[in-house]
Amino acid sequence: MHESLLPELERFAQHLAVERRLAPRTLALYRDALGALQRAAADDGVVLEQAHTHHVRSWVTGLRARGLGARSIAIALAAWRGLYRWWGQQGRVQHNPADGIRAPKAAKPLPKALAVDQAMALADLKGGGEEPPWLQARDQAIVELLYGCGLRVGELVALDAQASPQAAAWVDTADRTAHVIGKGSKRRSVPIGEAAAVAIARWIVLRTEALHGRDEAALFVSQRGTRLSPSQVRARLALRARRAGLPTHVHPHMLRHSFASHLLQSSGDLRAVQELLGHANIGTTQVYTQLDHQHLSKVYDAAHPRARRK
Q: What residues are labeled active site?
A: 152, 183, 253, 256, 279, 288
- Determine the Cα–Cα distance for residues 125 and 141; give it in Å rounded to an integer: 11
Q: How far is CA 260 from the centre of its chain?
A: 14
Residue among 309, 310, 258 at smallest CA distance from 288:
258
Helix axes 252-267, 230-243, angle to 10 degrees: 70
Contact 96, 49 (CB under 8 A): no
Quick check: helix, strand or coil at residue 191? strand
Report the C-alpha gap between 287 and 272 in whole angstroms: 14
The closest of 278, 274, 273 to 183, measured between CA atoms, is 278
DSSP 92: S
